[in-house]
Every structure is written in C-alpha cells, then in structure tokens.
Structure 1
C-alpha cells in the first residue's frame, strides 16, 4: 500500500540526519586541531602539520554560525516547503548540504588560518541552511503523514537518529584523527556525510511519488496556495497554546545545548578528569536520549504531552540545582537525570506542536518552532561562552555558567506549566490527547478559527474542516 511508504520516508530521512550529524559534530571534535592546541599539532612540536591556529573567538563563531543559520532558514523553510513543495525543497537542502561540506573540508588547504576560517565559515553557514532546512522538510512531512497513527514515535525515531550519529561520531572521529591527522579525517567525515544529501533526496522522491495518493488531498491542496501574506497571517493567528509550546522549546533547547556542549570541559577543569573519562560520562546524556522512541509509543497511546513537558523541565532543573547547590554533586547522576529529561522531551514536544495547530498551518508552525529551537541554542551558547571567557576563577565561572542554565530551564518550566494550564482550558485538550485522534478534534485553533472567520476570510480558508466528533483512528504500531 502507498500509505505504508511513510515508513520508508522515515527510514531515509532518519539516515539523512544521522549522516549529516557527523559533519555537524566534526567542528567540536576537531576543536584542538583547529585551534592548534593539541599535543599532536606542529605548533606543539607534534606530527600533524595540517592543524590550524584559530583563536577562541574564531572557533566559537565557526561553531555557533550553524545555529544562527538555522534560526533564519527554519522560519523561511516553513513557508518555502508549503509554497514550492517537499521535492523542490529536498533538492535545495541537499545541494546546500553538499556545497557546505565541500567548502568546509577544503578550507584548511588555504595558505593561512584567516583564509581557511573565512572559507570554512561560508561552508558551515551553507551546511547549517541545508541541515535545518531539511529538518523542517522532514518535520512537516511527518506531521501530515503520521498524524493519527504513530506521530510521537516518528518524531522520536528521527530525533534518536541524530543522537545516535553523535554517539558514534565522537569516539570514531577522535580515534581516526589521532592516527591520520586532521585533513585526512575531514575527508573521511566528508565521505560519511555524503549519506545526508543522497538520502535526503531519496526521501523527497518518496514523498513526491507516494504522498499525494496516501495523504488527505485537501491538506496538500491547501498548503500549496500559501503566499507570503498568508504565511504572516498564519503566524499572527497562532494561539497562545502554540506560543507556550514554542517558548518551552526555546528555553529548554537553549539550556540543554549550552550545558551539553561545555559539560566535558567542566569535568576536565573543575573535577580534574581526563579527557576520555569526561567524554564517556558526558555521553550518558546522548545515550539516554535513545529511549525516546519507547517513550514515543507511550505518547501515541496515552498522550499526556503537557505532563511530560513539566516532568522533563523539572528533571533538568533538579539536575542543575544539584550542581549549583551541592559541592561535588555526582556527575554520572546528573547526566542520567538530564539524559532522561532529554528523552522525554524528544518524545513529546514535536508532536505537541502538531496537535496544537491545524493541518494547513503546521508547516509554518514547524518552521517557526525550529527557528526558536536554533535561535535558543545559538543565543545560550553565545552567552555561556561569554561567561566562561570572562571568568578567571574556575569555580566561580562554572557556577555562573550553571546558574545561567538554571534560569533558562526555570523559564522553560514556567512555559510548560502555562501550556498545561491552557490545555486544561481547551475543550478537546490537544496536548493531553492521543495522537490517534482526527485533526478536527485535537487542533487548539479550531475554536479561534471559527470565531475569527467572519472577521478575516483568510482564516476561514485555513481551517474550514468540520469540528463534529469523529471516531478515533486505530493506533498502528
């Protein structure tokens, strides 16, 4: 059956993000080679003559530009996907991924570190556009193709794929660079990263070939006619329900990305751990995130996304409070708590965005949510970098860093509680419901759309389907 091809789409789009994540993580793994501080670099009388000599500011800019690119392209992708289609956007994002990889990999061949930095920045920027653009494409397709079936599982499997990519990439690339040097390692990562644009293109073709005969035709027809004006109208009429979920995503993701990126450094500086030991302990967070698909099954069967949002924020907050208030707080316990929190978040938040919007507006909402996600990550990474660079005393600077993370996660908890409250005031309780419910029952925008349709004809075009109760669709596992 054509409808079963959604699983094939999920397979290829998950492989795409798995391969793409290797190139994303490459910058962090090669940090000491890019800055010339590794004992193996020629600057330290080592044997690797391909190392660069980037300053801390240059490296931070190279790392964060990936997220800044995502902030812009994610919002635009929400409109572009609905306007020009999944196939065209899949080709565009695959091209950006490939171009970005090429520039980033050949950058170190420049005659100076300054020139190499400029070329690699352009490559990283292009790659960020392709990476986050492809994420939005995949999210929009899953939100339509898996609605009423295995929505949370689909998002959890996708999120699990890039976590798995990170888990494998860090030890593998670290071992390869010690043996072959930086430039050879970058070409090996380039070869692995080619999986990203290739499988992203295949996933787009699967959608082009099968989606129109397996998805609701009124949804496809509706989203094809979005314009810039109608897209702005969609954003203007998104409900408080959606904005609470988006605020949660902004602060939670910003907090967890900043903490995860610098936690190994914290263990080495403040706890005097070896680099290998610090990496293994920090990796527990990503390992725990692999539980997301199992938690996604729970979400599809029972719902309760509002409660899960509160739980994952609370767990993360407790872990940070432990580090801030208890001297010598167990690092393994902290990583276990944060990892469990991340797994719960991956199982509930993206399907939560889907159920609080209508089928015709979910593409724009997904793009906007991804923009919040990447902007939050970039902003808090930047703030965290300033805090660590400004501090001279090891203990005080790390205390300030984790206080910053605690504040961010505290705000995400407030947003989660707001979403819980708003959900309790919504007749159909979309966040509490299972995803195996008809869109007309779970969309939090239905009531507002009907109320506003007389004042704004555009809204009546977005959400014109019936709100009469319909039978629950069976859950397909």
Structure 2
C-alpha cells in the first residue's frame, strides 16, 4: 500500500513540474512581444525576447538537466533518498520563484537572464527528482506492478503538458503575464510538496515493505565514478542507446510539427497545436501497455513494435506526399505509449538494484543531451532560408527517420541478446534478477512470485 502512496505523491510532483515547464509554449507570444495584447498594450508586462532567447529555455532545460542526471545516481547512493528529496524540492521552488520574478525587471535582457537562471536551477531539481523516483519505483514495484508504475508516472507528465497547453493560454488572456506566472508558481508548489512527502514515505516505510535483498543493496554503493558506469552490462547500453534515438524524434516532432502543419497544409496556429496535441493525448493510454506487460511480459516485443511505429510515423510524410497529418500523430501517439512503459521499465531488469539509480541517471542524461542536440540541429536546418520550405521539411523528416531506424534496429539487437540470456529478463512475465552485494562475496538470486511460489536462494560465487 505504501508504494502506491509514494507513487501518487511522486506522480503529482511530476505532473505539477511539467505544468510549470510547458507553460512557456502558450506564453510564447507574451514572452516575445508578438501577442496582440502586447501590441495594443493591454498587457504592459510583455517581454521582448528573441526566438533564440526563447528557445534557450528549452535547450538549457535539457542540457543542464542531462548533466545533472548523470551524477544524480551517485549523489542518491551517497547521501540517501530523504536528503536528496529535500534538496530537489528546494531547487525546484527556487527555480520557479526566480523565473516568476523575471517580468518585474525593467529590461527584457535582465528579465531573460533571471528567468534563464531560474529555469536552470529548476531543471537541476526536476531531473534529480526524476532519477530518484525511477530508482525507488524500480525497487518498490520490482516483480509486482513495475510496468504500470512507470506508465502512471510518465502519464502524469503528459497530463501536465495537456493542462499547460490547454489552460495557460486562456488564463493569460484574462489576467496577463505576471499573474499567470504567479498562478503557475502556486500550482508548482504541489511539486515541492510531492517531492518531500514521497521522500518521507520512503524513509518511513521502505525498510519494512521492500524486499530485503533489494533494499539492503540500494542503501549504499561502494564504487563511485565512471568505472561503475563502464561496468554496466551490454544489454543496458543497448536499451539506453535506443532511448536516445527514440526521444529525439519524438520530442522534436512535438516541438516542430505545428509549424510543419502551418506551412505545409495551411492550418491555423490553434488547429496545428490541437492536432499535434493528439500525441500526448494518446500517450495517456500507456497504463494499458503497462497492465499487459505486468501480466504477460513481452517487453522486448513491445519495444520493437513501438520503435517500428515511430519510424513509420516520421518516414511516411516523406514517402507519401499527401499523407493526412492524423496518421502521423496517431502512429506517434501509440508508439509513445509503448515506449514510456517498455523501454524505461526494461532498465531495472538488466542491472542490479544497487546500480539502478546510476543506470537511470546515465540513461536520462544521455537522452536529454541527445534530444537537445537534435532540437538544435533541426532548428538550424529549418532556418536555412536558401532552401525551399518543402525541401527543408523533407530533410527534417529524413533526419528524424534515420534516428527512428537506428532505434528500431537496436530494439531488434535487444531481442537477440535477450534470447541468448536463459533468464529472458525482457520477455518473461516475472524476472529473475541477479543482485550482487557490495562485497561481491555472494550473488543473491531474487525471484518474484512465479506460479504462486516465492523462490529465493543464495549462490556462492
């Protein structure tokens, strides 16, 4: 029961965080001074950011978060869950507060500097909290409802994006930029509270409700540094590489597809945003995949099918000239649903519990850096004025399709190596995890309930 309470608070924190993160998209007109309310001066708090300055909010968010995530697992292992939870909550609140104060400064350049610093500090807290939550879910739901837990957690972020995209625009029209930022800050307090409460629940109840072999091994890691990263198994690196090649096309498409619809099909800004929003709308169905995986297994097949659908979603606009946009967003939404459950839920099954925090930190770090890089490259590509619009978008989708093809290929390689493993960690419904103790003097074979029997043994090395 306690693990579900933890998941509820952790998901609430993630939900509120994404509302704050994604508020910048509907506020773009007020931040860049292009909204009608800025021209008629009905909103005197409008800023005058350039497009490059505005995009910097996203690039800094991903790249700084990626660097922080790289070291979060080591920090958690050294200082524990409770201290990390409190620090992440403090960083998130400070970042949100500084971002909210930006419009009060007299010049747009000063406002940009303060808001960028706030965004940077907030990303430190959020990405560290994400790694922490992934580690705890991997331990607490191991062999139980692991896929469903990851699905619900990731869906909470999609709900946050939907709320931000659908509500912030209407709010800012009624109350203006400054008051809107204060409203999102007040809502973001839920993220601070959720981070602290979830950490407290773990501190009070983890030792009595998490399997002893998992809990003891997760309390500390004797080996720090990149040697531990390099010691992670081959299967882990294949999954991590797949994550990098998947999330770049996904998030880049969500960011730039409205512009494509406007230029290619003549959709209005509102209509293009609504069509693109179908992707996170469909991704809310991710718990269905989670229930299937927890009941039947077959993570490797779900991963392969999802990456295949992603590849189709980004190659079809090039292959079929008059492709209806609904086809692309539907395929991508279904792919997204499987990816956020299958790929992330596979990581704790191929590493020992003591390495889960480090493994998730490295994976999230590389995914964020790769996404930021692809966003930057695609932005430069779409800014090439010497190319015709149709040609720019063709190159855009070819680049995304190349990443999608790499992800699909890697998922096939993952099936191959999983087939060679007699334990079949990705295919099986219940997984046998080989857990090494800190001293490496024993190997504990932890087998969750298989056919109603709890099998647990200790093997000498």
Does the alignment pair 1:80 with 2:75? yes
Does the alignment pair 1:20 with 2:14? no
Contact 1:292 1:343 in 2 (8 A): yes
Q: CA 1:467–1:198 in 2, change beyond 3 Å: closer, same or farther? A: closer
Q: How does 1:123-138 map to 2 (within 5 A)?
A: 123-138=118-133
The CA deviation at 1:173 is 0.2
Q: 1:311-341, CA deviations, whole angstroms, 9 ceiling, x for partnerless residues?
A: 1111111111111121121111211110000
The CA deviation at 1:391 is 3.6
Does the alignment pair 1:357 with 2:354? no
Given candidates 12, 15, 31, the residue that maps to 2:28 is 31
1:456 corresponding residue in structure 2: none
Contact 2:425 2:431 in 1 (8 A): no
Q: How many residues align?
A: 452
Q: Could you say what the CA RMSD is over the residues aligned between the two structures, in angstroms?
A: 1.9
Does the alignment pair 1:248 with 2:242? yes
The CA deviation at 1:347 is 1.7
The CA deviation at 1:221 is 3.3
- Please state which structure has a larger fraction of its residues in strand: 2
Instruction: Give unpaired runs (5+ residues) of structure 1.
Output: 441-445, 450-458
2:8 corresponding residue in structure 1: 11
Q: Distance in 2 between matches of 1:60 and 1:257?
A: 14
Q: Distance in 2 between matches of 1:304 and 1:5?
A: 28
Given candidates 434, 441, 450, the residue that maps to 1:472 is 450
Q: CA 1:222–1:231 in 2, change beyond 3 Å: closer, same or farther? A: farther
Q: CA 1:204–1:323 in 2, change beyond 3 Å: closer, same or farther? A: same
Q: Distance in 1 between matches of 2:50 and 2:57?
A: 11
2:261 corresponding residue in structure 1: 267
Does the alignment pair 1:164 with 2:142? no
The CA deviation at 1:422 is 1.1
Q: How does 1:431-446 map to 2 (within 5 A)?
A: 431-434=426-429, 436-440=430-434
User: What SS does structure 1 have at the residue aligned with 2:322?
Assistant: coil
Does the alignment pair 1:61 with 2:38? no
Does the alignment pair 1:396 with 2:391? yes
User: What SS does structure 1 have at the residue aligned with 2:48?
Assistant: coil
1:234 corresponding residue in structure 2: 228
1:219 corresponding residue in structure 2: 214
Instruction: Give unpaired runs (5+ residues) of structure 2.
Output: 454-461
User: What SS does structure 2 have at the residue aligned with 1:437?
Assistant: coil
Q: How does 1:56-455 map to 2 (within 5 A)?
A: 56-227=51-222, 229-392=223-386, 393-434=388-429, 436-440=430-434
Q: CA 1:474–1:89 in 2, change beyond 3 Å: closer, same or farther? A: farther
The CA deviation at 1:100 is 0.4
Q: 1:170-224, CA deviations, whole angstroms, 9 ceiling, x for partnerless residues?
A: 1100111122221111111111111101111111100011001112334333333
TM-score (structure 2 length as normaliser): 0.94
Q: CA 1:172–1:79 in 2, change beyond 3 Å: closer, same or farther? A: same
1:455 corresponding residue in structure 2: none
User: What SS does structure 1 have at the residue aligned with 2:442?
Assistant: coil
